[in-house]
Each structure stands twice: as C-alpha cells, then as structure tokens.
Amino acid sequence: MTFQSGRCVNCDSPISTGILCQSCTPSVPSVANREPTIADMTSGQSGYVAEYAVFKAEGMIMLVGSAKITTEISRYQTVRITKRNDIYEVDSQTIASWDIYEGWPQAKEDTDYLLAKLV
C-alpha cells in the first residue's frame, strides 16, 4: 500500500484533506458525543454527582441513572459515589441525610433507577 496525497488510503477515492474519504471515516459512537452518566460507570469507578441524583424510596437508597457524573468535585457535583459490582456506594460524608430526597423523583419514563447504599 502506498499513500498518494489527495487520495483515500482505504479506497483510493479523491479527497481534499486528511487520509480517509467521508465514507471510509469511522463514525464516532454516540456515547462519546454526550456527557457521562451514573449508568455509564464501570465497577470500581468513582465520581461526583449532584444531590438530586440520590433519593430514598420504599426504604432503599437509589440513584438516577441518567444523572451527570464528573471525575472531580465541582460546584454542583458534590456527592461522591463508587460503583461496586451491581451496587453503588454513596459516601455519607458528602451528603447530609436531609438532602436525600424522599420518594420517587419525577423523571423521564425511560430513566433507570439504580440501587445504592450509604457508606
């Protein structure tokens, strides 16, 4: 294979810039086009969420799966959570008990709610 300026490396179609034509350029997965959420976390990963993402319903601590997560504490993302296998741990040092919403939050119909525990 040889590279010719102005030609796609993959299919040899004419191009004006780069090394791949538009049809040979891979598409970016949609997950890369949006902000990470709690539901995107992998086991062992930690991050910070807003207080509204933590709630208590039917005696269980839950998280709103679609809530934005950041790797560093910020003005609004102050509650530290960690995913451990199939459960999320909420750091009780980062949220006061009175800041945990009681009841099911109003959210979109397709919102995931994830089981958590205070540690």
pLDDT averaged per 10 residues in sequence order, the chain, 119 residues = 78 85 76 80 95 95 94 93 95 95 82 93
Q: Are 38 and 67 in contact (CB under 8 A)?
A: yes
| DSSP 8-state secondary structure symbol assigned to residue 95 | S
Contacts of 9 (CB under 8 A, 6+ apart): 1, 3, 19, 20, 24
The pLDDT assigned to 28 comes to 64
Two structure tokens written together for 85: 């296998």
The pLDDT assigned to 24 comes to 87
Q: Is the pTM of this model over 0.85?
A: no
Contacts of 33 (CB under 8 A, 6+ apart): none
The pLDDT assigned to 29 comes to 62
Q: Which residue(s) pair with 57 in the sheet?
A: 60
The pLDDT assigned to 15 comes to 87
